[in-house]
Amino acid sequence: MNLKIVGTGSSGNCYLLVADNGETLIVEAGLPYKKILKELDFNVKNIVGVLVSHSHLDHSKSANEFKNMGILVFDTYDSKLEKQVRIYGNFTIHSFKLIHDVPCIGFYILHEEIGSMVYLTDTEYCKYRFPKVNHILIEANYDNRMIDANHPAKEHILRGHMELQTTKQFVLANKSNSLQNVILCHMSEKNMNLNVMEQEVKKIAGHRVEVSIAKPGMSLELRRFPF
């Protein structure tokens, strides 16, 4: 299965999980509809569903366009239920609540080709643990050591986003022999040194785990048993 990074960060988030048979799950719809379709060669028949973590436009911008096409959109972040499950094609998706300034959910995604993947972003922390998870796509938004104490948007930066040390703690708490990939996303270029971030997470994850920084245009091969 391929993980394609269409967009990441405050300018718009969208990730595509494309199975070997073409079946596609869209994770976040925070870019213009036509830009996402272009990444799919304007072929929508293989889209089995769209996951939207929360209502901010950098995650939900084109959700309604997909709904209007009759494509299933998982946007239950405003639900009172703590957890929900959906099955889209051969993907099984469990949702879990996160900590943001609006209702927000993360996703635990299961598929025979990748085993399991956790996706979480726009949260101060995550109280859940995912034993033997294979892949983690996770926010590493800012580094406390780089925050300007006088920055006018300091409170917005600190509230509702995952700091580097919190990201590292989550990786450590979910580290096992099953973990294969950690992909860091939704980063603030002004408040994060990408090289430092990558190296620090690599030390936590260990030499058997591939640590990557999500960048638009990137494509990663995800498998269940790479070793």
Beta strands in 98-172 (DSSP E): 105-111, 115-120, 135-139
When pLDDT is cut at 50, 70 and 90, the band that residue 142 belongs to is confident
Q: Is the pLDDT of residue 227 over 60?
A: no
Over residues 54-72, the mean pLDDT reads 95
Q: Is the pLDDT of residue 191 over 80?
A: no
When pLDDT is cut at 50, 70 and 90, the band that residue 190 belongs to is confident
Provide the token pair at 43: 């072929």
3-state SS assignment for residue 64: helix
- At residue 141, the pLDDT reads 87
Q: Which amino acid is at 145?
A: R
- At residue 147, the pLDDT reads 64
- At residue 193, the pLDDT reads 83
Residue-wise pLDDT for 97-115, tens only, equals 999 989 999 999 999 999 9
- At residue 194, the pLDDT reads 84
When pLDDT is cut at 50, 70 and 90, the band that residue 137 belongs to is very high
The DSSP element (H or E) to which 59 belongs, if any, is helix 57-60
When pLDDT is cut at 50, 70 and 90, the band that residue 148 belongs to is low
Nearest to 179 by CA among 202, 199, 197: 202
Q: With pLDDT > 90 as the criterion, what percentage of the chain qualifies?
A: 78
Domain annotation for the chain: domains and CATH numbers: 2-221 (3.60.15.10)
Over residues 195-202, the mean pLDDT reads 92
How far apart are the C-alpha atoms of 9 and 68, rounded to whole Å?
26
Q: What is the pTM of this model?
A: 0.93
Over residues 69-80, the mean pLDDT reads 81
Average predicted confidence (pLDDT) for the chain = 91
Q: Is the pLDDT of residue 226 over 60?
A: no
Residue-wise pLDDT for 12-57, tens only, equals 999 999 999 999 999 999 999 999 999 999 999 999 999 999 999 9
- At residue 76, the pLDDT reads 72
Residue-wise pLDDT for 151-182, tens only, equals 655 566 666 889 999 999 999 999 999 999 99
Q: Which amino acid is at 148?
A: D
How far apart are the C-alpha atoms of 48 and 60, rounded to whole Å?
17
Which residue blocks in 80-193 are alpha helix, DSSP H? 154-158, 164-173
